[in-house]
Amino acid sequence: MSSNFDHTINRASELLRHKDLAGMSALVSGLSPSDATRILERADPAERAVLYRLLPKDLALDVFDRFDASVRGELFGGLRENDVITLFEELGPENRVELVDELPSNVARRLMQGLSAGERDLTAPMLGYAKGSTGRRMSPEYIRVHAATTAGEALAQVRETGSEAESVYLLPITDESRRLIGVATLADIATADPADRVQDLATAQPVVTADVPAEDAARMCLEYRSPAVVVVDSENRLIGILTIEQAARIIEEAEDEDAARAGGSEPLRRPYLGTPVMSIVRSRIVWLLVLALSAILTVQVLEVFEDALAAVVTLALFIPLLTGTGGNTGAQAATTVTRSLAVGDVRPRDIAAVLFREVRVGATMGGMLGLLGFTIAGLVYDWNLGFVIGSTLFAICTLAATVGGAMPLLAKKIGVDPAVFSTPFISTFCDSTGLVIYFLIAKSVLGV
């Protein structure tokens, strides 16, 4: 399958190089939506616009719906205005809101004004919610069932309006004021007596308010394995649903972001080979500048203890070992706690329990590594130096694990992404503090 796709990619490149639009049209028309999406994502922006115009209408709409919002925004720049207006109208409200965030404000305003009244009424309220909130990612296209409706009437309503809804598998049940009473699944209604009232079929299901972070709502949806999460306002009035498909997408984006930030960059949100070079540079350079400035602390520490290094040159040989051990220990703890935060295993209020646990974990690992370092350094050099290395390893591991475990919780408490405090910052912190501990112990034991 991979071989066939590679052949298609090579064939597409060849046709584009020879400007064979007829051959290109025949090639892309026979592609599946997923293959067409992958090919267009990997193309240059100018080529992407040409390829997109060659797609059959139904395939084009399907492919556009699969693009990331940044790719959609880029594609808009190469399409005719009529094509852009049509595509914007065809998008679901939640995808439309994502795209608006990627477009210049004047372009977004013009597109919103060009929407039909009905689509504008669905989309505009969502733009009022904060970025990253559930209200920004929910769908306002759902089937609402009145409590007094019978199961038979509800089924008829599904048949009549189901094609316009984002999901028909979970039906919110409300009173006359749109206040949520409960939900019923399509299976519940289909198997009930047609004369039964749907309010008698209502069950409790996950419900979130629109201002809740979208990632929290998405994890709730997946945890309960629900077809959708119902979204309400502060007065418990129904305003939308977050489907399991959208929840899975939100989680995937969040995990991509965490993984990228743990490595000191920002997620690309598109295939690597289809990402402009300057976009890759922007995703990395800020973090490199921050880390370069942070690393100056390490240089300052070495300068302060320059006399100790000059007196016992052997101390310099162990610096990479100690800084690497501290950075890795802190990164391990931060990654574990960040992941636990994401899935709801721990919360900021659990910081005391996390600290107590990480102190024990760090001390245990430090004791093992310290004993090993003491033995090896003592046998190769002398036992006083071995004691310095062993003691430092114990202290560094204990401190790094404790700080690494606490940082994500503190970040969450103050509203900062915990992933920001993972590998890069923890490593830099542990390098600096580890060296201070190392030289203080060395001065005390060796008298330098």
Distance from C-alpha of 43 to C-alpha of 49, rounded to nearest angstrom: 9
pTM greater than the 0.85 cutoff: no
Assess contact for 404 and 333: CB atoms under 8 A: yes
| Confidence (pLDDT) at 180 | 94
pLDDT tens, position by position, 66-109: 888 778 888 887 777 777 888 888 888 988 998 888 787 887 88
Query: What residues does 208 pair with on adjacent strands?
Result: 231
Q: Is the dihedral of CA 186, 188, 194, 200 positive or negative?
A: negative
pLDDT at 156 over 90: yes
pLDDT at 367 over 90: yes
Distance from C-alpha of 405 to C-alpha of 390, rounded to nearest angstrom: 23
| Confidence (pLDDT) at 422 | 61
The residues, ordered by sequence, that sit 6+ positions from 267 with a Cβ below 8 Å of its Cβ are 253, 256, 257, 259, 260, 283
Task: Please give the angle made by the CA atoms of 273, 245 and 336, to the nearest 5 degrees.
Answer: 70
User: What is the average per-residue pLDDT within 187-209?
Assistant: 91
User: What is the average per-residue pLDDT within 28-49?
Assistant: 80
| Confidence (pLDDT) at 399 | 94
Query: What residues does 237 pair with on adjacent strands?
Result: 179
Distance from C-alpha of 117 to C-alpha of 123, rounded to nearest angstrom: 10
Burial level of 46, CB count in 10 A (0-12/13-18/19+)? exposed
Distance from C-alpha of 190 to C-alpha of 183, rounded to nearest angstrom: 14
Torsion of CA 216, 220, 226, 229, to 10 degrees: -40
Task: Give the position of tokens 């394995």.
Answer: 225
Higher confidence at residue 54 or residue 385? Answer: 385
